[in-house]
């Protein structure tokens, strides 16, 4: 069974601070996605990374996929109240006949940014 | 709309009742997934369809759970004889299913099921 450990579980910060969320596994993933979910809504895809060592930037968000494709991080610069939400990492593996993109999710990080 | 839609958004069922949850995926998306999400947790995989074929049902928690996608578009997740532990948000997601796009799933808003 593949597991993704996400940390921290809760993060409460002031507007303007920087933060990093981590996603770790002992398993290798073919791809790693980050999603953001707001209450009462489904997860919204932020980014997909597929290459070990890959770094992607989306405005104030920076995503990194580990060289061994077992871990990832999400860094937010100068957080804003609008960044508040549940952040989820999810990995897909092509192993064991699951090349259709079956996702394993982390437990999520609840981020609260105070004005 | 162009997104994934689910209905109903909220469902309250008495223990022992049967429920049916509907998912309308994005038009043209080959792959369809169902996930179960407990409060404050990440979604957990239930089942996967490629067109009308159910290729993976390894995540269904018991034989009370049944899913179908008879024409390769709309899907229904049915739960028979609901139990309190079935209370959760049920999410549907779809993807193009090929190449790198197979990793990018687009989620519906979910159905919140409460079993009393």
For position A58, what pLDDT does the model report?
A: 94
Cis peptide before B3 (omega within 30 of 0): no
For position A96, what pLDDT does the model report?
A: 64
Say which residue the tokens 């990194």 belong to.
A64
Strands (E) across A15-66 are located at 19-24, 31-37, 44-49, 55-58, 61-65
Q: Smallest Cβ distance to B55: which of A33, A40, A100?
A: A100
A104 touches chain B (CB under 8 A): yes
Contact A41 B31 (CB under 8 A): no
pLDDT tens digits along B41-98: 899 999 999 999 999 999 999 999 999 999 999 999 999 999 999 999 999 999 987 7
Q: Pick the residue of A100, A107, A108, A110 with the most B CBs within 10 A to test the interface with B by mutation.
A: A100
Q: Rounded mean pLDDT of B13-34? A: 96
For position B60, what pLDDT does the model report?
A: 97
Q: Pick the residue of A25, A41, A42, A56 with the most B CBs within 10 A to test the interface with B by mutation.
A: A42
> How does pLDDT run along chain A (115 residues), one tens digit per residue?
678 999 999 999 999 999 999 999 999 998 999 999 999 999 999 999 999 999 999 999 999 999 999 999 999 999 999 999 999 999 988 766 667 788 999 999 999 999 9
Of the pLDDT bands very low, low, confident and very high (cuts 50, 70, 90), residue B4 is: very high
Distance CA A29, CA A94 (A): 8
Contact A104 B45 (CB under 8 A): yes
Backbone angles phi, psi at B102, to 5 degrees: -65, -20
A107 touches chain B (CB under 8 A): yes
For position A95, what pLDDT does the model report?
A: 67
Closest CA to B58 of A31, A96, A106, A105: A96
Contact A102 B109 (CB under 8 A): no
Distance CA B17, CA B114 (A): 12
Distance CA A79, CA B74 (A): 39
């Amino acid at each position: 069974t593949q597991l993704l450990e996400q940390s921290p579980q809760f993060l409460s910060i002031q507007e303007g601070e920087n933060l990093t969320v981590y996603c770790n596994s002992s398993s290798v993933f073919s791809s790693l996605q980050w999603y953001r979910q707001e209450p009462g809504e489904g997860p919204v895809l932020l980014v997909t990374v597929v290459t070990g060592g890959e770094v992607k930037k989306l405005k104030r968000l920076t995503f990194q996929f580990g060289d061994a494709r077992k871990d990832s991080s999400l860094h937010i610069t100068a957080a804003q109240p609008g960044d508040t939400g549940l952040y989820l990492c999810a990995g897909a593996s092509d192993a064991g006949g699951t090349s259709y993109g079956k996702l394993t999710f982390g437990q999520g990080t609840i981020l609260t940014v105070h004005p | 709309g162009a997104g994934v839609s689910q209905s109903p958004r909220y469902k309250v069922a008495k223990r022992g009742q049967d429920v049916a949850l509907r998912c309308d995926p994005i038009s043209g998306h080959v792959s369809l997934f169902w996930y179960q999400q407990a409060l404050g947790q990440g979604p957990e995989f239930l089942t996967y369809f490629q067109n009308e074929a159910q290729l993976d049902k390894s995540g269904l928690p018991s034989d009370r759970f049944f899913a179908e996608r008879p024409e390769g578009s709309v899907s229904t997740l049915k739960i028979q004889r609901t139990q309190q532990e079935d209370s959760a948000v049920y999410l549907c997601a779809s993807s193009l299913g090929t190449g790198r796009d197979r990793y990018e799933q687009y989620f519906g808003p979910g159905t919140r099921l409460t079993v009393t």
